[in-house]
Amino acid sequence: MTTLTVAGLDAGYRDFQALFGVSLDLAEGETVALIGANGAGKSTLLMTIAGALRPWRGRITLDGLDIAGLPDHHRARLGIAIVPEGRRLFPSLTAEENILVPTTGRGGPWSLDALYDLFPMVAARRSHRAGLLSGGEQQAVAIARALAANPRVLLMDEVSLGLAPAVVDGFYRLLPRIQQSGVCILLVEQDIDRALAASDRALCLLEGRVVMAGDSAGLDRDRLISAYFGAPSAPRSSATKTGPAPVPPDKPVPPGKPVPPGKRVPPARPVPPADPEVPR
């Protein structure tokens, strides 16, 4: 039974469209990796599912209920939680207060004690202001805050961003414990190898469109990297249960990146699957 279904989703900012007919689904307890270059629309997709952005078109259903028209606080109560890109803790609150903020009225396995058991480093810093914690500690608090809502669906946006590889390893070692709690996860991760290792299935997003999808174990890594960059030789994904026929990635061009007609230029910055060590 699918828990979350996204079908034919268009979304964006004012008059800029960032997502084009995106479809995906998450089965009960499943982890799906969302891969794509900077600016591909990964964060936009997560924020649209969470409700911070209004979808322009398309359906989002949670356990069969259409939630596309519901406000974000209502979706949180229905069981959608997000670890936002850049963590976005409440800086003036302590670590523990951050974790106590979610007011979803949802019961489940993730009590404060269970979360401190998962993240002992947060327990040790519980009464420190979140704004003064280290990046790794902040990320742990952000994950704990999302779990504290006892969600059905956990959206994780670039947990590795700006963190030392050893710290990131620590988070990915904890991921199975989170998965075992029954939540399904949509995982955005720049490091392709990490993403595939941690997930059941993977989707590749290119300039707002799903250009490849498949089982993480069976995905051809080279084809995935081509899809990631939108190289001309990028093979079209074989049809999967996740959605529409892939669209050739030749239409949308983010502003400020003019592309001569008919010619594809790889996105400027990202070089996957490097470990991003971006100071923030």
Partner 1 sequence: MTWLNDTLQGIFVGGGYALTAVGLSLMFGVMRLVNLAHGDLAVCATYLVTSMMAALGVPFLAALLLMLPLAFAAGAVLQLALFDRALRTGPLAPLLVTFGLSIMIQNLLQQTYSANVRGVPAGSIDVSAAHLGGLVLPGLSVLKLALALVVIGGLSAALRFTGWGRRVRATSDDVAIARLQGIRVRPLFATVTGIAIAAAALAGTLGAVTTGVYPTLGTLTLIFAFEAVVIGGLGSLWGTLLGGILIGVTQVLVSQVSVPYATLASQLLFLLVLVVRPEGLFGTGEAAGQATGAEA
Ligand X SMILES: Nc1ncnc2c1ncn2[C@@H]1O[C@H](COP(=O)(O)OP(=O)(O)O)[C@@H](O)[C@H]1O
Residues that bind Mg ion (CB under 5 A): 42-43, 85
Between 64 and 256, name the residue whose CB sits nearer to ligand X.
256
CA 76 to centroid of chain Cα atoms: 16
Contact status: 92 vs partner 1 (CB under 8 A): yes
Largest CA distance in the chain: 57
Contact status: 38 vs ligand X (CB under 6 A): yes
Residue 13 interacting entry, from Mg ion, ligand X, partner 1, none, C-beta within 5 to 8 Å by type: ligand X
Residue type, 129: R
Query: Quick one: which segment of 2-10, 36-44, 57-65, 163-171 binds ligand X (CB under 6 A)?
Result: 36-44
* Distance of alpha carbon 85 from alpha carbon 268, whole angstroms: 20
Residue reference for tokens 């470990």: 275
The DSSP line for 173-200 is HHHHHHHHTT-EEEEE-S-HHHHHHH-S
Query: Quick one: which segment of 40-48, 57-65, 145-153, 221-229 binds ligand X (CB under 6 A)?
Result: 40-48
Do residues 203 and 22 make contact, with C-beta atoms less than 8 angstroms apart?
no
Residue 36 interacting entry, from Mg ion, partner 1, ligand X, none, C-beta within 5 to 8 Å by type: ligand X
Contact status: 237 vs ligand X (CB under 6 A): no
Between 96 and 189, name the residue whose CB sits nearer to ligand X.
189
Between the alpha carbon of residue 81 and those of residues 113, 124, 126, 190, the distances in Å are 19, 24, 21, 20
Between 85 and 97, name the residue whose CB sits nearer to Mg ion.
85
* Distance of alpha carbon 51 from alpha carbon 34, whole angstroms: 18
Q: How many residues does the chain have?
A: 280
Contact status: 279 vs partner 1 (CB under 8 A): yes
Residue 16 interacting entry, from Mg ion, ligand X, partner 1, none, C-beta within 5 to 8 Å by type: ligand X
Between 31 and 43, name the residue whose CB sits nearer to Mg ion.
43
- Name the residue among 211, 229, 187 with its Cα closest to residue 21: 211
3-state secondary structure 115-127: HHHHCHHHHHCCC
* Distance of alpha carbon 120 from alpha carbon 105, whole angstroms: 25
Query: Quick one: which segment of 10-18, 72-80, 167-175, 238-246 binds ligand X (CB under 6 A)?
Result: 10-18
- Name the residue among 239, 192, 194 with its Cα closest to residue 214: 239
Whole-number minimum distance, CB 154 to partner 1, in Å? 12
Between 3 and 43, name the residue whose CB sits nearer to Mg ion.
43
Between 76 and 234, name the residue whose CB sits nearer to partner 1.
76
Residue ranges in contact with partner 1 by CB under 8 A = 50-52, 71-73, 76-77, 81-82, 84, 87-93, 97-98, 100-105, 130-138, 145, 149, 162-164, 167, 279-280
